[in-house]
Amino acid sequence: MDPRLEKIVEKIRDKSLREKVASLIENPSVEIEGKVYTGLSLTSSPAGLSRHHSYPGGFLEHVMASTEIALTLCDVVKKVYHGKVDRDLVLAGVVLHDIFKPLTYKEEENGTYETTPLAERIDHLTLAVSELVRSGFPLNLIHIVCAHHGGQAGPTWPRTIEALVCHLADITDSRLNGEVLRAARYLSRTATGEELHISTSKEAFEIVHSKQREYSDSEKARFAVKATIERIIANRNEN
């Protein structure tokens, strides 16, 4: 298990739940009609094809960022609103909410991602809920995963505090990352005439920051963005 994921899982105090979560993370696969389906590794997989975290390692970044947001929301519930929230369920829910996305993606030779044949028949959320039920995970955890898209985009609304926390953490990080990626792509087009294929979140933030530093002068901002992109490309070539 990646040490960054392990660090999150180790925060789950309930031993039984912690071990079940760890077991699924170590072998995120499903068997259908006698065939075992595996996908990209959790450390290399994106968390989306285009909207958010659509680059190598995006899945892990999304889990890490969503965990930080979710735990902050747990603190708000407790310290500000004097409410109760089960942190073990929140941690497990954040770690597992997209666990089978890597099974639905494949990497092409040009470095882009496409959906797998499995994804053409069944989506990652259905895969996750089915496997969690089969593996005997707690109903309240299954609900968290089932409701993490919300009632408009998913099959059900969050109906527990823990499910609401995970839903809000998920959409907040997805929106944050997605907006920065969108801005970086737009800035690359306006500065160079073609869209840069963003390969890390660091690249996207560097491009956006370069524009911010020269926000008062559009021409200076364009040159700053262009210089940043040229440096990013040069660094790629060196590596």
CATH architecture classification, 3-174: Orthogonal Bundle (1.10)
CB 89 within 8 A of CB 144: yes
Buried b (16+ CB within 10 A) or exposed e, 117-155: ebbeebebbebbbebbeeeebbeebbbbbbbbbbeeeee
d(CA 80, CA 68): 18
Q: Which pLDDT value is given to residue 93?
A: 97
**pLDDT tens-digit profile of 131-175?**
999 999 999 999 999 999 988 888 899 999 999 999 999 999 999
Q: Which amino acid is at 140?
A: N
- Does the pLDDT of residue 238 top 90, yes or no? no
Q: Which pLDDT value is given to residue 199?
A: 84
Mean pLDDT, all residues of the chain: 92
Could you tell me the residue ranges of all domains in the chain? 3-174, 177-238
- Does the pLDDT of residue 20 top 90, yes or no? yes
**pLDDT tens-digit profile of 203-231?**
999 999 998 776 667 788 888 899 899 99
What secondary structure letter does DSSP report for 107? E
103, 109, 111, 113 alpha-carbon torsion, rounded to 10°: -30
